[in-house]
Structure 1
Amino acid sequence: MAVLFATHVLLLILSTATTLHFSASKAARLNMTCSEKERNALLSFKHGLADPSNRLSSFMEINLDTPVGSPYRELSGEISPSLLGLKYLNHLDLSSNYFVLTPTPSFLGSLESLRYLDLSLNNLNWISRLSSLEYLDLSGSDLHKQGNWLQVLSALPSLSELHLESCQIDNLGPPKGKTNFTHLQVLDLSNNNLNQQIPSWLFNLSKTLVQLDLHSNLLQGEIPQIISSLQNIKNLDLQNNQLSGPLPDSLGQLKHLKVLDLSNNTFTCPIPSPFANLSSLRTLNLAHNRLNGTIPKSFEFLKNLQVLNLGANSLTGDVPVTLGTLSNLVTLDLSSNLLEGSIKESNFVKLFTLKELRLSWTNLFLSVNSGWAPPFQLEYVLLSSFGIGPKFPEWLKRQSSVKVLTMSKAGIADLVPSWFWNWTLQIEFLDLSNNLLSGDLSNIFLNSSVIILSSNLFKGRLPSVSANVEVLNVANNSISGTISPFLCGKPNATNKLSVLDFSNNVLSDDLGHCWVHWQALVHVNLGSNNLSGEIPNSMGYLSQLESLLLDDNRFSGYIPSTLQNCSTMKFIDMGNNQLSDTIPDWMWEMQYDRNVINPSQYLMVLRLRSNNFNGSITQNMCQLSCLIVLDLGNKSLSGSIPNCLDDMKTMAGEDDFFANPSSYSYGSDFSYNHYKETLALVPKKDELEYKDNLILVRMIDLSSNKLSGAIPSEISKLSALRFLNLSRNHLSGEIPNDMGKMKLLESLDLSLNNISGQIPQSLSDLSFLSFLNLSYHNLSGRIPTSTQLQSFEELSYTGNPELCGPPVTKNCTNKEWLRESASVGHGDGNFFGTSEFYIGMGVGFAAGFWGFCSVVFFNRTWRRAYFHYLDHLRDLIYVMIV
């Protein structure tokens, strides 16, 4: 069977009975040599391998490691049976090479001295002969068809470590026979497909188990109380499953437990008080569950605790002062909870070793003296949406080891002190956004990899940045001056800047011509400034660009053809400028190519509204199959709407792609992925800002142009479209009959065109419709009856004098009723909807009426009785009225 070797450190350590090492220095020191038989065995083993990097040119030191970034290439070929000549071989690691075409070397089962084996194999039967095996790693193997793997492996009496990570095991049924894991200490079954409850028998598998790893397995249900039988367990990892219910009190009986990770499950309960008995515990991770109640004050007994992570739960109340006595604590994470109240100096009194403080997204606030000297030196300070202000925290000045500082939405309204900017030179990640911070950035030098100063009161010119900066976001401030000095100040520097957001400031003048020095840029947002001039050709050097937002400025001229070199762009927003000429043809060709391995090459947003473009919309527009926003409103475009709209697959609901923001990681679980494009759209008459929910938008706006012809029927196939605006054009014809198939439509504006005919009955099926404007057309007939269409005001239909029925005031006559009935029944095979039915009904009525009249006219008795009945009926009505 094919063999795929797992990713581990690659070594082939060949030992003899006298612990022979193949290191030249060690061999010389110990005065040892290989026997002739062993040398020949090694040479035969070498000849069977394909060694493209020639790393086995000498056996003076055997190292088969092929880590990421290594200059060596993977070994392949045949694993020679000559290894049997190495009588005393006890350690064999051949993982992370390329033996996928090599049959399973079953002869390895004859290596009786083997104690350590790291392979990724499929056929297990031969392993049972390795009676001395102590370490076995089969990670990455496909064992989902090996139903007897548990019985086979339990036949290894000396086995102490068993690694079965990512082996596609989908069932942990009870063993069919007796198992014999008398020495097993480590069992790793992580990253498999165990979509079941945790089997109770697993906790009795071995009395010597010290490490059990079941993370990322889709495990369900509760943790069994019998877990207390793992009396020697030190490391228990059940994170990233679907476990639920309360946490068992029996966990508190695991006296030797050092690491307990239950994060990313759905436990719903308070933290059990017996957890305070886990006196050996060093790491407690309960983050991302639904824990409620308060933090137990008895946690003060966890004197060895180094990591306490209770983030992303529903814990309430205050933070107990007793946490401040955990003198070994390194990480304290209480973020994203419902905790409230003040954090005082007493909460930190003995936290001498604290390195990570994470209190973001709580209702807590810091209450310390301005001269407070913390007892710790932090590396990670995460205090976003946490009460710090209104004064700037002076205690930060005494922290000399900080790598990450986030104080977004912290209620700080103060002038940033001068010492702070020099202090930030050591920071890797800095986020001070959404406060009321002030100060002049003109002479500031910034060195952090990620800098987010957006939505504050900063002023002055743009700051200077080092070549190390990857993200610079100073949007929504009062920064003025020109952008050229920033771009052209260091012409020979190799800049790493990937995200540049200067939007919503008061920058002026042109963009300069130094973009060639910033070729790492992925996101550029310069929207809502006073920038002018032409878009420079040098922007075509930004080959990695994914979003270019230049909206709400005073750019003129045409869109440079060099921008077509930016073939990975997803977002283009040049709306509300003074650009002219035609929309370039290459812009309609930025479609997703399924033959390209990199799936990032597709245009999702094209917004060019409110410019001076002319010309027509070509059929090539339909090539933009991944488009979610097309906004070409308020221009002078002419011609007809292309009839190929159904080729726009994402709007038709056939393909659904998502933009992945750039991510920059700092620390074990902290990453920057907050930058998302922001677009100002007008989906329902009023301008709205879309950011986090932009990926859900599906919009076409072609309003206020000179488009003519009929609305193409293909538009009805855009079943995922939410907003459609074709108003203020010269469109004619009728509303497509099947427009009601656009089930997700929330806004429909067809006003101020020359559309005629009736409102299609299918529009009554648009249950999500919340904005409708069909005013000023030549529409006629009854407005279809539905919950939605009658909920709009009469203004939605005004300017159509031939429309009748609610909500307009004009009542429908029989003529309109007959016309509507004929329209509803047309073509559906219903006799009552055909014209023949109404003709026949008219003829029948006439024949019956004149037949009755002739009888009354020629028969005196019937005539007297009929008029006597009419007189009696008249008297009866009169009496009733009186």
Structure 2
Amino acid sequence: NGFGGIPIPDFIGCIESLRHLDLSKAGFGGLVPNQLGNLSSLEYLNLRADIEDNLYVTDLQWLSGLSLIEHLDLSAVDLAQASNWLQFLNLGSNKFRGKLSSAIGNMTSAIDLDLSDNELEGPIPITMGNLCNLKSIVFSELNLNQDVSTILAVLSGCVSNQLDKLDLSGCHLSGQLTNQLRNFKSLKELHLSGNSVSGPIPISIGKLSSLRVLELDQNQLKGQLPSSIGKLTNLEILDISTNLLEGVVSETHIGNLPKLKVFQASKNSFVESWNVGSMFPLWLHSQKHLRYLDISGSRISDSLPGWLWNFSSPFQYLNLSHNQIHGQIPGIPWAMSVDSVIDLSFNLLSGPLAQISPNVFFIDMSNNNLSGSLSPLLCYKLKETMGTVILNLGGNVLSGGIPDCWLNWQNLQVIKLSNNRLNGSIPSSMGTLQSIVSLHLQKNHLSGEIPLSLNNCTDLILLDAGENELHGSIPRWIGDSLRKLVVLSLRSNKFSGYIPDELCTIGSLQVLDLADNNLIGSIPRCVSKFRAMAKFNGSMGTAISYVIGAGTFVATIVMKGQILEYGTNLNLVRSIDLSNNQLSGEIPVEVTSLFELQTLNLSHNLLSRTIPDSIGELRSLESVDFSVNKLSGSIPESMSYLTFLSHLNLSFNNLSGVIPSSTQLQSFDSSCYEGNQLCGLPVPNMCPENGTIHGVGHGGGNGNENETDWFWFGLVVGFVIGFWSVFGPLVFDKRWRSIYTLFGSQTNVENH
């Protein structure tokens, strides 16, 4: 499309419904018409030119009319004449690619420059040092791959005089912060989180007296926190978490920051950290405006002080987890901010549960020594509507029954009561929690049946009531009503009866664990309807993603004989465990259509007949356990295709024949095959050429034992007769000795 350098026609701007316009390298030249700004429906515009085309613009104001634009390419278009008007350029969150152009230095009137969240690459061009009017640079999530000191050097000239915001978070920066920071005296926000910046925080940081936001988290900063931090009297947000800082944080650092609202310093290596003697840090007492405080993992070994709740601005976020805080939890005041988050998990807190404010959005008191009943927390204000969405009380020593007090907790989405000493039945009022997506009741002493009212909880994604004393049959309504389930675990209870076919209607199911019960009958053939186990879609939907993001969605799954916990990676897990029941019949061939299945445990049942020949279709299998059943026939040749297999147990069945040859199957210990009549590596039985296998296993009853005895008797007799047939004449007859000696000599000559 060579147009010989003629201008782009003005009339194109009249096609207002146009969505895609590609004039790249079409040979147009001259002035780009402002009429292109009339294309209000345009999503894609490519004016990429060759330098010799002399395509140029005198202003870019017309771009403001392209409100739907997603892709804009002005490569090799001369923007020099348009630079004098451009003050605010926000091209963030597009799909721009390539290197940052030195032409950016021509925009000398620019005040705000936002190129964040694109696929642009560094380094930052030296010409950016010419942009003396810049007040804001937002380059977050670009692949600058540059030394941070080099960037500071480029900007430390006239740019540093006006700049009040510098955001280089997530830009793959390395190197160390230098004293060039002192030049940025107008800076109010400095965002450098999520890089690989190392070395100490320079003392010159204290020269930035206007600084309100300092985010240095998720780097590799070392050394002590400089006392000059205490000179930043306008500081409102300080985040130094997830670094390698050490030393002691004291009143000198924090005590003179009267405006501080957010302080996050978890996951560092502070030697004494926040522990000032045996008390909470006293500098906290002086921070009356703190709203966001994270001092988790800081070795605090004090009790919770009453003044912690008396700040003039109520907490929005308080994380004291992973410390050694002891004593009782005081009542959490009703003055808490709306949607506040409180995490007291993994401490040594004891005593009864405390009352909490209805404004608390997230409360985690798990993994402490809290005792007594749930009632003080759940039932003390029966007429108040609680705003709590996530409630985690797992891993304590709470006892008694689960109270029937859930009517005022209608906002709950996650309930974790696991690993306690709760008894009695599951109350029917839990069925009123129609917003719930994750219910963890495992490892208690709950009894009775699963209440029918739970069929109202149609948004449930995870239901784990394993390791209790629940009984009765597995309810059919689980399959009819809980169609969004991803994890269903009822293991280690006293359930009896058949596995209901209705479970097969839960196409989203990824983990089914019914192990260690008293189930009978056959495995339903309809398991082929578990779509999520047959096809990987990489997503579990927005609801489960939201809960996982909150850090509370953890599924406990038994895989490869181990108890494992899955959180953010749960979407990768596909597992069926029906072990330790009384299931009979054959392994349905339909199981082999679940192509994404990783774990299949059918051990300790009464299953008979053969292993399906098509089991090799389950190429994702990592763990297979069919042990202690009544399976017969040979191991299917297709099992040699299971290249990801790392755990296998076929022991104590009636299997016979040759173990198929593959890297995986021969790598397992022979105990994985014992109790069968198998031959070939890795078992000690060699396979005879006639194909008749005589096993040395433990299964098969008296008949097999007799066959084994006759096998060994025949082997010994044959050896004795054969030995004397060959060597007897050598002992008693000189002629045979002479012939043998002659034959041996000839053989040695021939071999040499």
Per-residue CA deviations over 1:170-223 (Å, capped at 9, x if unaligned) read 42412158633433222222222212222222321x332222221222212322
Match of 1:558 in 2: 449
| Equivalent-residue separation in structure 2 for 1:155 and 1:878 (angstroms) | 98
Q: What amino acid is aligned across from residue 168 of structure 1 in structure 2?
A: E
* Equivalent residues in 2 for 1:589-628, closer than 5 Å: 589-590=480-481, 602-628=484-510
Match of 2:82 in 1: 180
Match of 1:54 in 2: none
The question of whether the paired residues in 2 share the 8 Å contact of 1:572 and 1:605 is answered with yes
Per-residue CA deviations over 1:826-873 (Å, capped at 9, x if unaligned) read xxxxxxxxxxxxxxxxxxxxxxxxxxxxxxxxxxxxxxxxxx999953
1:807 aligns with 2:682: yes
Number of equivalenced pairs: 672
Per-residue CA deviations over 1:706-753 (Å, capped at 9, x if unaligned) read 211221223223232222210011111222233233333222111001
| Equivalent-residue separation in structure 1 for 2:65 and 2:220 (angstroms) | 35
- Report the CA distance shift for 1:560/1:344 in structure 2 as closer, same or farther (over 3 A): closer
1:439 aligns with 2:314: no
| Equivalent-residue separation in structure 1 for 2:363 and 2:517 (angstroms) | 33
| Equivalent-residue separation in structure 2 for 1:421 and 1:302 (angstroms) | 31
| Equivalent-residue separation in structure 2 for 1:777 and 1:556 (angstroms) | 35
Match of 1:145 among 22, 45, 50: 45
Match of 2:187 in 1: 281
- Report the CA distance shift for 1:672/1:463 in structure 2 as closer, same or farther (over 3 A): farther
Q: Which moved more, 1:534-543 or 1:749-758?
A: 534-543
- Report the CA distance shift for 1:807/1:425 in structure 2 as closer, same or farther (over 3 A): farther
- Report the CA distance shift for 1:609/1:220 in structure 2 as closer, same or farther (over 3 A): same
The question of whether the paired residues in 1 share the 8 Å contact of 2:348 and 2:369 is answered with yes
How far is 1:629 from its partner?
A: 1.2
Match of 1:494 in 2: 385
Match of 1:4 in 2: none
| Equivalent-residue separation in structure 2 for 1:642 and 1:535 (angstroms) | 28
| Equivalent-residue separation in structure 2 for 1:408 and 1:315 (angstroms) | 18
Matched position secondary structure for 2:746: helix
Q: Mark the runs of 5 or more structure 2 residues left unpaired by the alignment.
A: 1-13, 19-31, 695-737
| Equivalent-residue separation in structure 1 for 2:332 and 2:310 (angstroms) | 9
Q: What amino acid is aligned across from residue 179 of structure 1 in structure 2?
A: Q
Q: What amino acid is aligned across from residue 169 of structure 1 in structure 2?
A: H
The question of whether the paired residues in 2 share the 8 Å contact of 1:166 and 1:191 is answered with no
1:294 aligns with 2:200: yes
How far is 1:604 from its partner?
A: 0.6
* Equivalent residues in 2 for 1:145-544, closer than 5 Å: 145=45, 147=47, 154-156=57-59, 167-175=69-77, 179-204=81-106, 206-246=107-147, 247-248=150-151, 249-253=153-157, 254-255=159-160, 256-271=162-177, 274-348=180-254, 351=257, 353-365=259-271, 391-420=279-308, 426-441=314-329, 448=336, 449-544=340-435
- Report the CA distance shift for 1:716/1:269 in structure 2 as closer, same or farther (over 3 A): farther
Match of 2:560 in 1: 684
* Equivalent residues in 2 for 1:120-135, closer than 5 Å: 125-126=34-35
Match of 2:721 in 1: none
| Equivalent-residue separation in structure 2 for 1:653 and 1:732 (angstroms) | 28
| Equivalent-residue separation in structure 1 for 2:539 and 2:276 (angstroms) | 40
1:788 aligns with 2:690: no
- Report the CA distance shift for 1:177/1:407 in structure 2 as closer, same or farther (over 3 A): closer
Match of 1:769 among 632, 640, 645: 645
How far is 1:554 from its partner?
A: 2.4
The question of whether the paired residues in 1 share the 8 Å contact of 2:658 and 2:687 is answered with yes
The question of whether the paired residues in 2 share the 8 Å contact of 1:128 and 1:156 is answered with no
| Equivalent-residue separation in structure 2 for 1:335 and 1:718 (angstroms) | 43
How far is 1:775 from its partner?
A: 0.6
Alignment RMSD: 3.7
Matched position secondary structure for 2:419: coil
Identity of aligned residues (%): 37
- Report the CA distance shift for 1:443/1:211 in structure 2 as closer, same or farther (over 3 A): closer
Match of 1:641 in 2: 523
Match of 1:587 in 2: 478
Per-residue CA deviations over 1:46-94 (Å, capped at 9, x if unaligned) read xxxxxxxxxxxxxxxxxxxxxxxxxxxxxxxxxxxxxxxxxxxxxxxxx
TM-score, structure 1 normalization? 0.69
| Equivalent-residue separation in structure 2 for 1:153 and 1:562 (angstroms) | 70
| Equivalent-residue separation in structure 1 for 2:392 and 2:630 (angstroms) | 43
Matched position secondary structure for 2:119: coil
Q: What amino acid is aligned across from residue 143 of structure 2 in structure 1?
A: Q
Larger Rg: 1
The question of whether the paired residues in 1 share the 8 Å contact of 2:262 and 2:291 is answered with no
| Equivalent-residue separation in structure 1 for 2:33 and 2:426 (angstroms) | 65
The question of whether the paired residues in 1 share the 8 Å contact of 2:327 and 2:349 is answered with yes
How far is 1:148 from its partner?
A: 8.7
How far is 1:434 from its partner?
A: 2.0
Per-residue CA deviations over 1:368-408 (Å, capped at 9, x if unaligned) read xxxxxxxxxxxxxxxxxx77786432332232222122222
| Equivalent-residue separation in structure 1 for 2:633 and 2:275 (angstroms) | 61
How far is 1:160 from its partner?
A: 12
Q: Mark the runs of 5 or more structure 1 residues left unpaired by the alignment.
A: 1-101, 107-122, 130-137, 368-385, 593-601, 665-670, 820-867
- Report the CA distance shift for 1:387/1:164 in structure 2 as closer, same or farther (over 3 A): farther
How far is 1:803 from its partner?
A: 1.0
- Report the CA distance shift for 1:676/1:645 in structure 2 as closer, same or farther (over 3 A): same
- Report the CA distance shift for 1:585/1:453 in structure 2 as closer, same or farther (over 3 A): same
- Report the CA distance shift for 1:365/1:672 in structure 2 as closer, same or farther (over 3 A): farther
